[in-house]
Each structure stands twice: as C-alpha cells, then as structure tokens.
Structure 1
Amino acid sequence: MERNFKMVAKTLFGFEEILAKELRNLGASNVVEGVRNVSFEGDTGFMYKANLCLRTAIKIIKPIHTFQVANEDDFYRKIYKIDWTEYLSVDDTFAVDSTVNSDNFTHSLYVSQKTKDAIVDKFRDLEGKRPDVDVKNPDIRINIHIHKNTCNVSLDSSGNSLHHRGYRISTNIAPINEVLAAGLLLLSGWDGQCDFLDPMCGSGTMLTEATMIACNIPANINRKGFAFEKWHDFDADLYEKIVSSSLKRTREFHHKITGYDKAPSAIRKAEENIENANLSEYITVSRKDFFKTQKESDGPLHMCFNPPYGERLDRSDLDSDFDVEEFYSNIGDTLKQGYPGTNAWFITSNLQALKFVGLRPSRKIKVFNSHLESRLVKYVMYEGSKKAKYNNREENI
C-alpha cells in the first residue's frame, strides 16, 4: 500500500474553510488551513481525485524538497543538488513558477531563472544534454516558494489553474471565475435541495457550477487534462478508476435550475457552455429582464448571482444611461415585490451601492473578485408578513 505524502491546495482568499471541508469529505488526512491554501495528506490516487473533484482549489502542488537558503549562490547550489532525474529527463520540457516573500529574494522571475539555470546545468554535467523550457505546455511544472529564509520546491500536479473547467467556450465581458462561482455557491449553503435561480446569468457559469454541486458531478470532469498525466510515474489505470468511482457518486436532481439575462448574446453563450458541460437537461435559460419578473414556483428558492455592473467593467462597457443607485434599488424592489420565500445572495465590489438596495442583509461575507475586495451578501425574503426585526438582523463576517 502506497504511503501518504503532503500536498498543498491553493485557493482564493476566504475559501480556506470550505476547501478544507471539501478535502475532509473526499477523505484527506491532516488537513490544515493556511492563508489562501490548505495543506493535507493523501496518496497518489487521492492527488488524482483532488484535482478532479475539488471545486474551490486553484492548484494542487506536491512538495518535494524544503531547505533554508541564505543567498542567491546558496539557492543555486541547493537546487542543483536535487536529483532532478527522478522527475524529468533530457527529452522532457519544464517550466518554473516562483513566489517570493523575502528580504534576500525580491524578484520572482529572477528566482525562476536561477532555478532553470541550476536544473539545466545539472543535466548538462550529468548527460551532456539539457532539457528545454516550455512555459506554455511543459511536461513538468516546478513551483518555487520562498518565505523569508525557507524555500519549498514542489511539483505542480494541476497545470493550468483548476478554474479552467473545460466547459466554458463562450464568455461575456468580465465573466466570473469558475472557482469563485463554486465557492460563492458553497458559502451560500447551496446543496441542491430546492429550486435555483441566477437572474443575471451572463455566460452561465453560476448555473453550471450550481448544477454540478446539486448532482455531485466532479468539478473538472470536462478538463482536457492535468499536469500529473505527463509525470513519469503516472498510473493511467489508477486514474481511470478514480474517474469511474467519482462518476458513480453523482446523484439525480429533482428541482429546477433557471437563468435569466436580458441580453440575447448572453443567452446564446450560456446555452453553448451549458451544452458543452452536458447539463442542458437540468438548466433552463430565458431572455428576461429580472426587474420585470416574479417568482414562478411555490416553495423555497435559492438565488445566487453576480450583478453585471460595477468596478469589474470599464465605464465604456456600461449603458450610457446606467445609474448605480437605480440599479441596486431595482434589485431590492424586485426581491421585495416578487420573490417571497427566497434566499437571495449576490456578490458586489461596489460596497456603497448596497445602501441603495433598501434591505438589510442578514449576512455579509468578505471575498475577493480578482483583485477587488467584495462582499457576498444575503437577503432573506420571507413568505407572507414577518416582523421587521427579522428583516433587519445583520451578521457581518
């Protein structure tokens, strides 16, 4: 039986807790939350499963060496000393990604270059030939992280960021990141136990991620591949078993998932992406202006959306008559007048605009949309009349 080894899953700020929960549910051991990362232990099969199934991970890296480093020459010598033939050959290509937070090392690109030099020199000294660098599609991607005087050398098992799910072929301006969408849904408590609506669905990312959560479909089942598939020790039979086992855990969904958008181009793109994800049977998208709609079914409704206006877009992308105050006021009015029995969540980086909604959120969760500090806010729209105090509770995180 193969021994477990340490891995690190990188994520977005604010998603550490839900990523740790995902890892525990998958069967990881020694799960420890960090800042924008969660460390854990598992075997090779679990590394495959983590890449395939985790919704809130950006990358899964496998540490292979840790050492103290004093200066540039010391760094070069210690990288050179590693037995790189265990991981690549002269016929392989490689790339290096570096992150530095140190007084002795201030330029990540320089650290990547020194790493490349040490690896190339090692092979040239051993075999008289050297492996080539390929930054776009390497056989091995090496991750260097220097914090103060500690250097961690890891192999990137994912390759391209895991937010590249593989289903999104058409996008609108400023589309939401797939990992961000999945994380917002999990933070909102979405579990597939009622109807779901994204009233401003854009290219359909939130709808697709919501459906995969509801049906327990592996997050990255549509990806073309992972970096670990090029590793020398890749076990294709084991990987196929992991894929098969994960697909057996999918479940049926007995509610409705619906998306609205008033732009015909957005509807077309959403339909293309949803079809590409093989989820057309679960999702309905319609050309509608949310502000002219009302709830279409009885029973509870879970709403989660990413309003299309704000700092995410250049002013030239907005309608000439766009008014922030009116837009957010219309969100509040539409929820109050047309959506009883609804838990409504949305993300915004325009914190001032929230004042115009006219409702007090029951939750505010700090997240980041790219580099923009944002809030995921929740509004509870009750069925029938409720005392005002229940609508005016506020919990800030």
Structure 2
Amino acid sequence: MVAKTFYGFEEILANELRSLGAEKVQEGNRMVSFYGDKGFMYKANLCLRTALKILKPIATKKVRNEQQLYTFIQSIRWMDYLDVSDSFAIYTTVNSTIFTHSHFISLKAKDAIVDKFRNTKGRRPNVDTDYPDLTINIHIQQDLCTVSLDSSGGSLHHRGYRQVTNIAPINEVLAAGILLLSGWKGQSHFMDPMCGSGTLAIEAAMIACNIPPNLNRKEFAFEKWLDWDMDLFEKIEESCLNKTRDFKYSITAMDKAPSAIRKTRDNIRNANLEEFIKVEEGNFFESEKKNEETLHMVFNPPYGERLQLNPEVFYGEIGDTLKRGYPGTNAWFITSNIEGLKYVGLRPSRKIKVFNGKLESRLVKYEMYKGSKKAKYN
C-alpha cells in the first residue's frame, strides 16, 4: 500500500507506520510505501496523523501508448472491486513524456472499464465524481502505470471535528506533522497562543492522549467496497481506543479574537476534548508564562498573505514576548514570511523547510531558558 503525505513528512509518517505494525516500510517523495492486510488498512486510515490518503495498488504494468493502456486497464478483474450497479471515479497523475494529459488518461481508463462491463454483463456502472462507490487512482511514471484503489476517499485531513474555521486555517495533517516534528509527545504543558480555530491544540491533545485522529471522521471510502468488513473495522477501532492514555499536563489555546475563541470551543466540543484543552481569550503580546514548569509552545501566526501586517513590528513582538514572558519554553512556529524571521531577534535552534499549501515555509524553534531568558545559541 501507499500512504501519501506532505513534503518533509515522509520520515515521521514512516515512523508512524512502523509503530502501528506495518511491514517493509519505505520512504519516497511525499509518500511512504508499506505492506499490511485489510485490517491494517483500516487501522492506517483511522490512526495515521500525517497521511493524506491510503492507496491500495491492484495492478502495475509498462504501457507505451493509449492502446496498451486501454488493454492493461481492461485486463484488471474489475468485478472483484465494482458491481455493475455501483458508481466509480478516476483520478490520474502523470509524470511522463509519453502521456502528458491526465484527463485523457482518465477518459481512456473509464472507456476500458465500462466496455469490459458491457461485454461481460450487458450493463455498465456509472461515473460519479461526487459520491463514487469506488475511487480509482492511476499514476503514470514515464511508462510505468500503477492502478490503485483509494481507501480513504476525501483527504484524511478532514478529521470530522472542525465544523467552523477562521481565514486560511491550518490543514489538520500539516498541524499534526508540525507537532510531531517539534517532538511533541505530551511530555509537558502545551500552549498555542494564536489558536485560530483550535486545530493545533486539538491535534496536540489527540497526540498526548494517543487518540486516533480520524475517530470523528464520517466515513472512509473502503466502507463502500465489496469486501467491506464492519466487524473487523469495529474490532480495530476498539483496539485502538483501548490504547489511549491519560494526560497529566495542561493544554491551552489562546487567541485575542472573540470569534476565534468561539470557533475553537465549538471544534474542541466536536472532538470530545473539552476535558483536556483550556481556552483563553487574550493577546499573546501582553501575556506571560504562568508557572515555572517547562512549556511546549507551537503556533501558526498570521501571514502577510492572510492579513496586512508590518513584519518588522510583528515578528519583533514575537521575539520580545518570548524573551520577556516565556522562560523555560520551547517555542515553535511556522511562517512563510522567511524574511520576517530576522526581526524576531533570536537565533533559532532549528529551522525545518515545510510547505503550507503551496507556500514554502519554515518551522522554527526558539529555546527560551530560565534565568537568562535568552535563546540557546548553537
């Protein structure tokens, strides 16, 4: 199988897969391949925090022209996966000098499938791009064509808990990946001082308590498959829930906007995490740490693309607030305003390249120490 992810998350996704029990885990470009049975496919969809989709390859072959492609697609035993009364959709990606138009590949593959059903059943399944019973993924790398079934359906960042958002909310998979890259495991107090709609705090709570991230998701694509096994899925779900753990520290989500606070509370309630996350209305730049214990801070400050702000003033205030009010804090934040980082006035101890959508960004860490309140210089 193949788990798709964001750039830079391949290693943490591979580690997630190994911890779940996957075999033959191998990192690729924005993906990780692995082996597992049907039950593991269910578990991967339910439990992986940094996967966007789980694909199940069913056939691979070299094709050098459209006729070979048609013949290859038609040779697949589609009756094992699709009933004549079902609907399907095809999504194609190509990286090839032979085939250059993904839409053409999808149409050719569709023709091959419906022609096979007409020839054998006298009827054909319908195409439904909105709510298909089976989603087919075709990937062509030069002349190598791989046909997979999409076991997830909609992207796995749609956790199911976030009903309301602010402007440009952070993707849930991106949020989980940032938290894992920061080393967050629930080992201290946690704070998001610019929480927006609460995504980072919610993902932090689920990591700390080992709660499956897609527990609140409405459905997975595999639930419409011909071999769907509800009893097996419920056993997998129960087993995962039995592995949740207690969390003895605090998680705080703070924002100065009353609308953000309302949305955060709604989303926390939807995720059933009210007992783990405290929500506070307040301005980070006027705040300070409330105790002497170590604090793990992760936040997603507003970018110039989202709000008009003066980078020199804004990032300078971040640095001043950390120096003044947050000794004993490991502070991480993500930004696409790479130039603005020089105004923080602190040297980051780590700087990791990530992408927020199409925006090249940096995830930076500032280590604030007790007493001196200065960043550690490497």
Query: Out of 294, 305, 317, which is 2:299 matched to?
Result: 305
Show the counterpart of 1:385: 372
Name the CA distance, whole Å, in 1 between partners of 2:41 and 2:53: 11
Amino acid at match of 2:182: S
Query: Out of 116, 121, 126, which is 1:132 matched to?
Result: 126
Name the CA distance, whole Å, in 2 between partners of 1:45 and 1:220: 16
Query: Out of 40, 47, 57, which is 1:53 matched to?
Result: 47
Query: Out of 266, 271, 276, which is 1:277 matched to?
Result: 271
Show the counterpart of 2:206: 212
Name the CA distance, whole Å, in 1 between partners of 2:67 and 2:9: 37
Amino acid at match of 1:257: I
How far does the alpha carbon of each residue in 1:227-259 deviate from its partner, in whole angstroms, 9 at most, with x for none? Answer: 111111111110000000000000111111001
Task: Kindly state the Cα deviation for residue 193 of structure 1 after the two structures are TM-superposed.
Answer: 1.0
Show the counterpart of 2:80: 86
Amino acid at match of 1:392: Y
How far does the alpha carbon of each residue in 1:299-344 deviate from its partner, in whole angstroms, 9 at most, with x for none? Answer: 1000000001223x2xxx43xxx31110000000000000000000
How far does the alpha carbon of each residue in 1:185-232 deviate from its partner, in whole angstroms, 9 at most, with x for none? Answer: 000000101100000000000000000000000010000110111111
Matched, 1:354 2:341: yes
Amino acid at match of 2:229: D
Q: How does 1:39-50 map to 2 (within 5 A)?
A: 39-50=33-44
Show the counterpart of 2:16: 22
Matched, 1:336 2:330: no
SS at match of 1:189: coil
**Structure 1 stretches lacking a partner, 5+ long:** 1-6
Task: Kindly state the Cα deviation for residue 274 of structure 1 after the two structures are TM-superposed.
Answer: 0.4
Q: TM-score, normalised by structure 2?
A: 0.99
Q: How does 1:238-277 map to 2 (within 5 A)?
A: 238-277=232-271
SS at match of 1:391: coil
Contact kept? 1:98, 1:145, Cα under 8 Å: yes
SS at match of 2:99: coil
Contact kept? 1:56, 1:180, Cα under 8 Å: yes
Matched, 1:324 2:311: yes
Name the CA distance, whole Å, in 2 between partners of 1:265 and 1:278: 20
Matched, 1:227 2:221: yes
Task: Kindly state the Cα deviation for residue 296 of structure 1 after the two structures are TM-superposed.
Answer: 1.0
Task: Kindly state the Cα deviation for residue 89 of structure 1 after the two structures are TM-superposed.
Answer: 1.1
Contact kept? 1:310, 1:348, Cα under 8 Å: no
How far does the alpha carbon of each residue in 1:118-148 deviate from its partner, in whole angstroms, 9 at most, with x for none? Answer: 1111111111111001111111000000000
Task: Kindly state the Cα deviation for residue 78 of structure 1 after the two structures are TM-superposed.
Answer: 1.0
Runs of 4+ in 1 over 6 A off after TM superposition: none
Amino acid at match of 1:90: V
**Structure 2 stretches lacking a partner, 5+ long:** none
Paired residue total: 378
Name the CA distance, whole Å, in 1 between partners of 2:108 and 2:261: 48
Query: Out of 114, 118, 137, which is 2:108 matched to?
Result: 114
Question: Over the residues paired in the alignment, what is the CA RMSD in angstroms?
Answer: 1.0
Task: Kindly state the Cα deviation for residue 364 of structure 1 after the two structures are TM-superposed.
Answer: 0.3
Contact kept? 2:303, 2:336, Cα under 8 Å: no
Matched, 1:102 2:114: no
SS at match of 1:378: strand
Name the CA distance, whole Å, in 1 between partners of 2:304 and 2:210: 32
Name the CA distance, whole Å, in 2 between partners of 1:56 and 1:342: 25
Task: Kindly state the Cα deviation for residue 392 of structure 1 after the two structures are TM-superposed.
Answer: 2.2
Contact kept? 1:329, 1:357, Cα under 8 Å: yes
Name the CA distance, whole Å, in 2 between partners of 1:210 and 1:235: 31
Contact kept? 1:56, 1:182, Cα under 8 Å: yes
Name the CA distance, whole Å, in 1 between partners of 2:87 and 2:362: 42
Matched, 1:372 2:366: no
Amino acid at match of 1:102: S
Amino acid at match of 2:25: V
Task: Kindly state the Cα deviation for residue 358 of structure 1 after the two structures are TM-superposed.
Answer: 0.2
Show the counterpart of 1:198: 192
SS at match of 2:372: coil
Contact kept? 1:64, 1:155, Cα under 8 Å: yes
Q: TM-score, normalised by structure 1?
A: 0.94
Name the CA distance, whole Å, in 1 between partners of 2:208 and 2:134: 34
Task: Kindly state the Cα deviation for residue 291 of structure 1 after the two structures are TM-superposed.
Answer: 0.1
Matched, 1:188 2:182: yes
Name the CA distance, whole Å, in 1 between partners of 2:239 and 2:376: 44
Name the CA distance, whole Å, in 2 between partners of 1:45 and 1:131: 28
Task: Kindly state the Cα deviation for residue 72 of structure 1 after the two structures are TM-superposed.
Answer: 1.2
